[in-house]
Structure 1
Amino acid sequence: MTQSNSFTASFTLDKAHYTECYTQSSTLSHDKKTYFKANILTIFGLFILFATPVNPYAAWFVIALGILETVSVYYHKLWWVMRQMMSKASGSEVKLTIDEQGILTESFHINNRILWTDVTDISETELGLLIQFSLGKSITGKEMASKSYISKSCLSDEAYTFILSNAPSSN
């Protein structure tokens, strides 16, 4: 390519942005398998309470853990968005630069670059792009990976197309 492609965009880290990020990137489903651990804890606590001579406080503690786990799974989205809203980055303006090297995210609190060579997958979602990338190897030699979400609402059509053209399958 003789022409240098560089695109910039900006967005604010607000509740709407965090909610969109969660809904587009979360893999949590509310089925029986998701609540399995909570159900086991509750049943085990009831077993301790009614079938053993163990102190009932221990049984009620295990039952409470099961109920807490159920609540945490049920309200996972709300809890995640609330934690993001309490972070120091919440409410700040983020500048996004997409160029030949990769994707640069800059704000007062963070400067992060995802290189195109580290990108392992780019998936289109209903409202944006989910970019999976390699972080290198851990001490144990296991490959570490992460993912980042970019909303279509802050990208121009040219920037969106440029990102998709840098997907590993198209190289």
Structure 2
Amino acid sequence: MYTERFVLDKPYFQECFDESIQLGDHNKPKYFLLGLLITLGLFSIYGLEKHYVGNFLILLAVVECLAFYYRRPWWVARQMLSRASGSTVELNIDETQIEAKNPYKYYRLTWQNVDSIIETNKGLVLKSNQRMQYLSNHSISEDTRAFILSQAKK
């Protein structure tokens, strides 16, 4: 019924991350883990006098902070290094499903499995029980967007 094509490039990956991270579970640091690592590290240094273990645990907390701070560039870099980067995705949408395929991956999501469709500033996020799928407004037409939103109301 609707067919769209778009390229998986760096701006698309950046937009995908920015729009979907707000809806995911990984948008806050792991405060409990950080507190636990630092507490155990300080206890190891001052209570047990095991400086190597304590320093290691505190360093793990620092690495966790860095991983959270740089999660966007790390995720985008991993996507850019994948085989699918730079390939053209063909998106087919009809009354029963959304189907996305490129030379390296095939993805199909039936409307029955879509739990919700969330509008963001730059696109749509399709949430299912397994994962989220992002569609940019730049990659789909207004008719396709309206059709997808109409499927949410059914």
Gaps of 5+ in 1: 1-5, 135-144
Instruction: Give TM-score, length-normalised by structure 2.
Output: 0.90
Matched, 1:150 2:135: yes
More off after superposition, 157-166 vs 56-65: 56-65
* Mapping for residues 56-135 of structure 1, pairs under 5 Å: 56-134=51-129
Q: Which residue of 2 aligns with 1:142?
A: none
Instruction: Give TM-score, length-normalised by structure 1.
Output: 0.82
Counterpart CA distance in 2 for 1:99 and 1:158 is 12
Counterpart CA distance in 1 for 2:103 and 2:27 is 34
Counterpart CA distance in 2 for 1:7 and 1:63 is 53
* Mapping for residues 14-93 of structure 1, pairs under 5 Å: 14-27=9-22, 28-30=26-28, 34-54=30-50, 56-93=51-88
RMSD of the alignment, in Å?
1.5
SS in structure 1 of the partner of residue 138 of structure 2: helix
Give 1:65 shift.
0.6
- What count of residue pairs does the alignment treat as equivalent? 151
Percent of pairs with identical residues: 36
Gaps of 5+ in 2: none
SS in structure 1 of the partner of residue 135 of structure 2: strand
Give 1:111 shift.
1.4
Give 1:58 shift.
1.4
